[in-house]
Structure 1
Amino acid sequence: MVLLTDIDGLYTADPQRDASARLVQRVEADDELLSVRAGESAGERGSGGMASKLAAARIASWSGVRTVIARASASNVLLDAASESVSVGTTFVAHDRRLTARKLWIAFAAQLGGTVLVDDGAHSALTTRGVSLLHAGVVEVRGDFEAGETVEVATRNGNVFARGLVGVNAMQARAGAGKKSAELPDGVNHEVVHRDDLIVL
């Protein structure tokens, strides 16, 4: 996929304001694409805005599609972007783990109902072991959501690292925060987010 704009690609800062700004030639699949600084002026002047292009590149990466952001007026830009042997603009490498259509929807398209903040142990387990999120790992619940809605999952300091479909509503999540499964009332789902409904980004 090729996204054309009026600057050479993604920079480390706004090149119009920061003389030290450098073009980012390659963004690996496991990089936090949206955390890379786009620069306000570039975002305002670029077609569709750099932020929206970064969002599109991230979705494409998780779909197994390589993306290039480049200057529209550059000579042979489409041919060069299609050729992996020629360096042009910023290349976003395709992720080797393609998400299914359902998980792409959860990760990028579903409307958010709130945010669930977790402790360090839960963060480590979710990102390295692929487990479900249990009530014991929850430290804070933000928003008002129902079971089955999509929520963001974040660290204690608010850094979002996953999205998922919740198995409980916000009231149940708040009441169960920090509790072991054996301490939950009868009828309350032990899993705040089941691992099959969780996408670590």
Structure 2
Amino acid sequence: MSQQRSALSAVRRLIVKVGSSLVTNQGKGLDNAAIADWVAQIAELRSSGVQVVLVSSGAVAEGRARLGMSERPRTLHALQATAAVGQMGLVRAYENAFAQHGLNTAQVLLTHEDVAERGRYLNARSTLRTLLEWGVVPVVNENDTVSTDEIRLGDNDTLAALVCNLVEAEALVILTDQDGLYTRDPRLGDGAELIHNISLSDARLEAMAGDGMGTLGRGGMRTKLTAARWAARSGASTIIAHGRAERVLNRLLAGEEDLGSMLHADALRVGARKRWIAGQLQARGALHLDEGAVGALSRGGASLLPVGVRSVEGSFSRGDVVRCLAPDGTEVARGLVNYGAEEASRICGVPTREINERLGYVGEAELIHRDDLVLS
């Protein structure tokens, strides 16, 4: 057994994400037997001292089944209405299943605004942690009934990773209808090999993760890779496994080596404030950097000075999250900016000593201080 797999037996706070295709049995209504099986496994983990947050897709898919829809709705208002119908059945199914094991559950619905606004982020974190301390199993989903194209989290893989950061979980398990991550898409022919253990810093990962997406959900394997990288910011490794494998959760936490794909969190753990910055899916603008600034940031420990910025993009205010882009457009970092867009445009490319001459005052010497900066 590898050291990384054996470490799973020591996990005491776990995020479990279950996809739409599993929960709804490929869109044929809720699979209550499968839900009961996952709940029984979570109950067993709870009895052994493991705190579990369950992130479950399925509201839209269950709504489709209840309403007799053959296809996923395309318009936002239809998706919201379908989710509202399906959420009722989804929550009731989980509540009934956990009650069989004497466990209380709590429904937690989140939107991007709940993790983008600092106060709401802290409130969500406190609520989830309190529920766990009380022995309650939170059942988390995106609030599809009120989210819009501008604020939606995008998929529950992303949501699960952000929840992982919120509660500082030690591991994220993504249950899907695939055995794990393959060297290539297994649907495209022979030669695909299942990867059991791999580092998130391995350059081969990008080629392995395809963009395929099921008809029931919004996330493909690439979104799971992105989610794993976000989860790693709080030190959590991610395991992708088939949700219908027998006793999959119990076997994973027992360290079974050949079950699913484990993506090791080998990046440095970052503090809560920086995790919040990194988790902002909607930056308000961008700063285009020169090669010197990119090099300084990439080496770590440096603040972003105005002299290293070539141009400013977007409309943002002091304190907003902005992206820092290399000359080729690649995001190298993001952070909380000390100047609004108009001021930043007037001082970009100039030495710090000239800020006062350009603006008539010096607010901060840095455009983004290193304490407010997270490398991508």
- Name 1:61's counterpart in structure 2: 232
The residue type equivalent to 2:214 in the other structure is E
C-alpha change, 1:152 and 1:83, in structure 2 (3 Å) is: farther
Richer in helix (by share): 2
Is the CA contact 1:34–1:55 (under 8 Å) kept in the aligned structure 2? no
* Aligned counterparts of 2:195 and 2:259: Cα–Cα separation in 1: 10
Does residue 49 (structure 1) correspond to residue 227 (structure 2)? The answer is no
Deviation at 1:150, TM superposition (A): 0.3
Q: How many percent identity over aligned positions?
A: 38
The residue type equivalent to 2:258 in the other structure is S
Deviation at 1:4, TM superposition (A): 0.5
Q: Which has the larger radius of gyration?
A: 2
Q: Match of 1:162, SS?
A: strand
- Name 1:196's counterpart in structure 2: 371
In terms of mean alpha carbon deviation, does 91-100 or 31-40 score higher?
A: 31-40
* Aligned counterparts of 1:35 and 1:116: Cα–Cα separation in 2: 25
Is the CA contact 2:196–2:257 (under 8 Å) kept in the aligned structure 1? no
- Name 1:158's counterpart in structure 2: 329
* Aligned counterparts of 2:333 and 2:216: Cα–Cα separation in 1: 29
Is the CA contact 2:287–2:311 (under 8 Å) kept in the aligned structure 1? yes
Q: Match of 1:191, SS?
A: coil
Task: Identify the match of residue 265 of structure 2 among 85, 89, 94.
Answer: 94
* Aligned counterparts of 1:45 and 1:118: Cα–Cα separation in 2: 39
Does residue 4 (structure 1) correspond to residue 178 (structure 2)? The answer is no
* Aligned counterparts of 2:286 and 2:369: Cα–Cα separation in 1: 15
* Aligned counterparts of 1:75 and 1:53: Cα–Cα separation in 2: 22
Q: Match of 2:214, SS?
A: helix
Deviation at 1:45, TM superposition (A): 5.2
* Aligned counterparts of 1:98 and 1:55: Cα–Cα separation in 2: 16
Is the CA contact 2:280–2:321 (under 8 Å) kept in the aligned structure 1? no
TM-score by length of 1: 0.84
C-alpha change, 1:140 and 1:11, in structure 2 (3 Å) is: farther
C-alpha change, 1:81 and 1:72, in structure 2 (3 Å) is: same
Is the CA contact 1:27–1:33 (under 8 Å) kept in the aligned structure 2? no
Task: Identify the match of residue 187 of structure 1 among 361, 366, 369.
Answer: 361
- Name 1:176's counterpart in structure 2: 347
Within-5 A mapping of 1:107-126: 107-109=278-280, 111-126=282-297
Deviation at 1:104, TM superposition (A): 1.0
Deviation at 1:76, TM superposition (A): 4.0
The residue type equivalent to 1:49 in the other structure is G
Q: Match of 1:192, SS?
A: coil
* Aligned counterparts of 1:30 and 1:123: Cα–Cα separation in 2: 19
Deviation at 1:153, TM superposition (A): 1.2
Deviation at 1:144, TM superposition (A): 0.9
- Name 2:43's counterpart in structure 1: none
The superposition leaves residues 50-97 of structure 1 with CA deviations (integer Å, 9 ceiling, x where unpaired) of: 344334322221111121011112344223322445132221212453
Is the CA contact 2:181–2:240 (under 8 Å) kept in the aligned structure 1? yes
Richer in strand (by share): 1
* Aligned counterparts of 2:321 and 2:177: Cα–Cα separation in 1: 35
Q: Match of 2:342, SS?
A: helix
List gaps (5 residues or longer) in structure 2.
1-171
* Aligned counterparts of 2:189 and 2:310: Cα–Cα separation in 1: 40
